[in-house]
Structure 1
């Protein structure tokens, strides 16, 4: 350790961190290439070959050329997942339990969804939301 100064250790760690960041970006770019609906098969193959044969330059070119649409696709996918999750929760809550409280549970779920929507729009404060939620759940 005597012949490896602290500054060299710092630079090694920095380059290692940048390499790991680049790997994450490479995997994100490859996933985005396959996920993109607006690219045809040949365009996907071309971007993939560019990203794999000229790794640093190919990823950089892809992010410059398609970075904005890449972010939009991420947002759309997150919204779709959130909507699917909410639909699943709503469906699971309205199926009811074994004691026949399905109607009551479904109305509570609808009321909670309306409350959450009001809170998201800013029509009610978080404190009002919490109070109304506790009243519904009791």
Structure 2
């Protein structure tokens, strides 16, 4: 065998592998979109899954042509919702500002819960 025959065999193998992985990515994206779409009835979901099982490539193209815009909108809405949830969680668990911590420590000092030395220790830790 010559180098070029091996080269084209390798090229064809990589090309086929890339097409196969792209197909799998599209297939799983569409299956995920089908089950996330609350506007689609159960029967329509079953029909799409049936055709994806028996005419996968054609059904994938038809689904993208027929419902691609809605798929993109649902994806953007989900990303926005996930970002809002992450931001909310971060705000909830984030440490308070130094001013807030000192004010809380001062309130504890005024209430007699902590001593002046503890207040100074908290203040020096927060200001560092």
**Would you say same fold, with TM above 0.5?**
yes
Q: CA deviation at 1:8?
A: 2.4
Q: What aligned pairs does 1:1-20 form with structure 2 within 5 A after superposition?
A: 2=1, 4-20=5-21
Q: Which region of structure 1 is more displaced relative to structure 2, 9-18 or 30-39?
A: 9-18
Root-mean-square deviation (Å): 2.4
Following superposition, the deviation at residue 49 of structure 1 comes to 0.8
1:26 aligns with 2:42: no
The offset of 1:103, in angstroms, is 6.8
User: Relative CO higher for 1 or 2, CA cutoff 8 Å, sep ≥ 6?
Assistant: 2
Report the count of equivalent residues: 101
Structure 1's 15 and 103: CA in aligned 2 closer, same or farther, altered over 3 A? farther
- In 2, Cα distance between the equivalents of 1:27 and 1:102? 52
Q: Distance in 1 between matches of 2:25 and 2:54?
A: 17
User: Runs of 4+ in structure 1 displaced over 6 angstroms?
Assistant: none
Identify unmatched segments of 5+ residues in structure 1. Answer: 105-137
Look up the match of 1:54.
55
User: Which residue does the alignment assign to 2:101?
Assistant: 101
Larger Rg over CA atoms: 2
Q: TM-score, normalised by structure 2?
A: 0.70
Q: TM-score, normalised by structure 1?
A: 0.65
- Cα distance, 1:16 vs structure 2: 1.4
- Tell me the residue number matched to 1:68: 69
